[in-house]
Structure 1
Amino acid sequence: MASDNFMQIHDPELLARGERVLGAEFKAMHERVLQVSALTSRLNAVPFDDEAAKASLLVEILGRPLPAGLTIYPPFYTDHGLNLDLAERVFINQGCTFLDYAGIRLGRGVMVGPKATFITMGHPVDPEERRRFLTGAPIDVADNVWIGAGAMILPGVSIGRDAVIAAGAVVADDVPASSLVSGSKATVRRSW
């Protein structure tokens, strides 16, 4: 059972302001990850046409009834599940990963291509701090967004209504409504 402090740290708004997850909070998070990993393993082994079994496991993973018109094609991966807020008519293709501890919201009619990844948590860059705590920020995807195959959405990103994220794009900054973003560019930012 989570402590009150865990619930405060767990709040996506606090994480967005740079709060850290550590100690007892990390232990509670780790326990949920183990539980959800077992559930997603079962989900990913269910025959594709067994809709009732898939729906039952998704309800356990998400901790709430499924929205109308939700489609998720396994394999499907999440590390927490309870902070994955899916609206009506969301479509998630095969092999997608949702690391949702800090919160992920997908608006109505969002389409997610195969192998897309959403990451809300990370480690500090400083090597002395890297193993001591986690930081994170929520991801918010507005209605009618299309996220292409293999796209990666990073912590704290908001994607505006009707936007398109091209296949393979790495999205580290907010995306305006009704726009197309593409590409990835790894550049040296600093050295130590």
Structure 2
Amino acid sequence: MKSEMDVGTEAYEQIEKVNRRNQMLVQQLNDSPHTKAETRDLVSQITNEKIDETTEIRLPFYTDFGQNLHIGKNVYISNCSMFVDLGGIYIGDNVLIGPNVTITSVNHRTNPADRRHLSFKSVYIHDNAWLGANVTVTPGTIIGENAIVAAGAVVTKNVPANTVVGGVPARIIKTIKCN
């Protein structure tokens, strides 16, 4: 995927075609109760990748695109999480994502004349990371292995492995001692 995209281009129209299809699937997913397996199946259709049977996704679940969202094994995604994934979101194995988490890989350009156009920066959440309730992860950030992002934090910079971060913007609170 390119790092930028202009609204109104042929490439943008292709994105919109996928968007229309996936938004119908997201609506179907969230409009009625589903078993864990049915939820994984619908999310697999949205992402165009098989969601592993060890992963649990609580509803409602939101994504603006879906096909650039990559979810590992044994992941838990809580209620009301939002994935703005056009720029790519990569979630490792054994990741915990609390309720109302927003992860975004898309931004708008700063120049007012270009503000409606998009910029992309992938987000990576490495194995065993835990994102608490109401966390926001901004484009281009990396959450390191075993890291914890405290509830309500806004991640604007990379989070080193084995650390706890919190606050707005998130800053290191302590180091995690691993066995």
Identity of aligned residues (%): 32
* Equivalent of residue 170 in structure 1, options 137, 144, 154: 154
* 2-structure distance, mates of 1:137, 1:125: 15
Do residues 38 (structure 1) and 24 (structure 2) align?
yes
Please give the secondary structure, in 2, of the residue aligned with 1:128.
helix
* 2-structure distance, mates of 1:54, 1:112: 16
- Equivalent residue, structure 2, for 1:7: none
Deviation, structure 1 residue 122: 1.1
* 5+ residue gaps, structure 2: 170-179
Q: Which runs of 4+ in 1 moved over 4 A?
A: none
Give the number of aligned pairs.
167
Distance 1:67 1:53, change over 3 A: closer
Give CA-to-partner distance per residue, 1:80-138, whole Å, 9 cap, x none: 2111111110000000000111111111100000000011111111211102x210100
State the AA in 2 paired with 1:117.
Answer: T
**Correspondence list, 1:34-113, <5 A:** 34-48=20-34, 50-113=35-98
State the AA in 2 paired with 1:170.
Answer: V
TM-score by length of 2: 0.89
TM-score by length of 1: 0.83
**Correspondence list, 1:116-127, <5 A:** 116-127=101-112
* 5+ residue gaps, structure 1: 1-9, 186-192
Deviation, structure 1 residue 56: 2.5
Maintained 8 Å contact 1:46/1:53: no
Do residues 159 (structure 1) and 146 (structure 2) align?
no
